[in-house]
Amino acid sequence: MKISARNILKGKVKSVKPGVVNTEVVIELSGGEIVTSIITKESAEGLSLAPGKDVYAVIKASNVMIAID
């Protein structure tokens, strides 16, 4: 698979919390960091996401904003 996004993080699904429309997917990276994503319920089901499954968090953003207090 080739993809244009440069930020691809490999991890394992830690939890999947389905809602009515969207599903929250929590991914644990190899260093213990946590990435949380909200995807459509249909997408989560199509990917057969479940705890322990190896996945990639693919981050593609045109803008990264920085804020301070």
Give the range of the structural domain holding residue 37, as residue numbers without chain letter. 7-59
Domain-embedded: residue 68: no
Are 24 and 16 spatial neighbours (Cβ–Cβ below 8 Å)? yes
Whether the model pTM is above 0.75: yes
Domain-embedded: residue 30: yes
The Cα 69–Cα 56 span in angstroms is 32
Please compute, for residue 41, the number of CA atoms within 13 A of its CA located in the half-sphere on the CB side.
6
pLDDT in the model for residue 66: 67
pLDDT in the model for residue 13: 97
Residue 41 belongs to domain with CATH number: 2.40.50.100
pLDDT tens track for 16-59: 999 999 999 999 999 999 999 999 999 999 999 999 999 999 98
Domain count for the chain: 1
Domain-embedded: residue 2: no
Q: In sequence order, which residues have a C-beta less than 8 Å from that of residue 29 and are 6 or more positions away?
A: 9, 10, 11, 35, 57
pLDDT in the model for residue 4: 83
Domain-embedded: residue 66: no
Residue 52 DSSP label? T
The count of other CB atoms within 10 Å of the CB of residue 64 is 6
